[in-house]
Amino acid sequence: MVTTIDDVASVLRSKNAGPFFFTIDVFLPDKKLFDTVAHVLTPERVAQAYRVPTSEVQGIYQLQAALAIKVTIRKQILADDPGNTDVIASQQHLPLAWIPLPD
């Protein structure tokens, strides 16, 4: 079984960061897993998981005090627009959740 971010995160959530971006917060239970996940989460890897160009990944931030990593991505379809299916972007953490971790 491949271990993924989903298997190790204690909190894994996504939400709008304003109407034009959404942001994913990953909280890890310890420093070792924090370092492992932080190493895996590059703009290129995130862009690949979300099938967007790397330029759509606005930033990846590490907050050591909370053992948390934040990933912010530009929204492709806005709330109210035709075709939108996630107004506050609450289900957009999953492509990141399924990124595998090294053995």
Partner 1 sequence: MKLRVLAFVNHIPIKYDPEPAINQAMEWGIDYVIAQGTGKDWGPHWLGSGRQFPVTNFIENVRPYMRVCHELKIPFILSAGIAGARPQLSECLAGFSKVCREQGYRFDVGVIAGDIDRDYLKQRIKAGTSIPRMDDHPALPAELRLEDVDVSTYIVAQMGPEPIMAALDEGVDGVITGRALDTGLYMAAGRRSGVSWATSALFGKMLECAGVALYPGDPSLPVYGEVHDDESIVLRSPSTRAQPTVQSTAGHSLYERMNPFREENTNGYLDLDEVHWEDIGDGAVRVTGARYVETPYTVKLEGAAPIGYRSINLSAVREPRYLEHLPETAERIKQEVRNASRFSALVEGVDYHLNVTLFGRDAVLGDAEPCRGSEHEVGVLLDVVAPTEEIARDICYFASISLQIGAYPGRRTSAGNVAQRFTQMTNPVGQAYRWTAWHLLPLEDPLEPFERFRAQFPYEEGTQPW
- Taking CB under 8 A as the criterion, which residues in 62-101 touch partner 1? 63, 65-68, 70, 72, 74-75, 78-83, 85-88, 91-92, 94-95, 98
Q: At 64, give phi and psi (nearest 5°).
A: -60, -40
Binding map of partner 1 across residues 28-47, x = CB under 8 A, - = no contact = --------------------
How close are the terminal C-alpha atoms of the chain, in Å? 10
Query: Quick check: 53 binds partner 1 (CB under 8 A)?
Result: no
In Å, how far from its chain's centre is CA 75?
Answer: 13
| Contact predicate 79/88, CB 8 Å | yes
For residue 85, what are its two tokens? 């299916």
Query: Which parts of this chain interact with partner 1 (CB under 8 A)?
Result: 11, 15-21, 23, 25, 27, 49-51, 58-59, 61, 63, 65-68, 70, 72, 74-75, 78-83, 85-88, 91-92, 94-95, 98
